[in-house]
Amino acid sequence: MSADVRVCFVGDSFVAGVGDPLLLGWAGRLGQRAHAAGVPLTSYNLGVRRQTSAEVLARFAAECAPRLPSSCTGRVVLSFGVNDAMVEHGVPRVDPEESAANLTKLLGQAAERGWPVLMVAPPPVDDAAHNARTAELDERFAAICAAAEVPYLRVHTALRESAVWMREVRAGDGAHPGAAGYDALAALALPQWLAWLGH
């Protein structure tokens, strides 16, 4: 592995860490843990509020390519789906079949460029019907990642059962937690994150 390790975190507002007064989110916390474990990586947070899998797909290659040149060890962490499952005008913003196809295309684009991918499941919000739709995407995403031999962090159910996550989501805007919620997500992801980095 090159000493120049770079990771692009690509996705939605949860990737961006919306709601975290420390402005770290779970991506920033995982970057901190990597440094503590001896991996001084360069981390790029490419999370955008309200973006769906379709919007992430549209910008993925153009945003990651200049940040992950062939001279470095480039990696990508993906996470999206909550906005896909959001209902607008009576239907989800992105049909589940299209969400699945978008993930497949993203994994294909990353594989073509030699970028290993770690996928993090879409987390829950304070809306049971929305969570049920997101949980269906979680199942689809898990199957797609398994077929592509891409590690998939199944945090959705664990966070729905997390008193800390759900309490912070309810105390916030109904979707995003505060610092303790992002601590909880990062703690769930940490073992597989470090294993994926090779430590």
The residue type of 45 is N
Listed in sequence order, the residues at least 6 apart from 148 whose beta carbon sits closer than 8 Å to its beta carbon are 104, 107, 111
* CATH number, domain containing residue 91: 3.40.50.1110
Strand partners, 39: none
What is the CA 31 to chain-centroid distance, rounded?
Answer: 13
What is the distance between the alpha carbons of residues 72 and 38, in angstroms, rounded to a whole number?
17
Q: Give this prediction's pTM.
A: 0.97
- Angle at which helix 53-64 crosses helix 96-112, to 10 degrees, equals 10
| Domain total of the chain | 1
Q: Which domain holds residue 53?
A: 5-197
pLDDT by residue for the chain (199 residues), tens digit each? 568 999 999 999 999 999 999 999 999 999 999 999 999 899 999 999 999 999 999 999 999 999 999 999 999 999 999 999 999 999 999 999 999 999 999 999 999 999 999 999 999 999 999 999 999 999 999 999 999 999 999 999 999 999 999 999 999 999 999 999 999 999 999 999 999 999 5
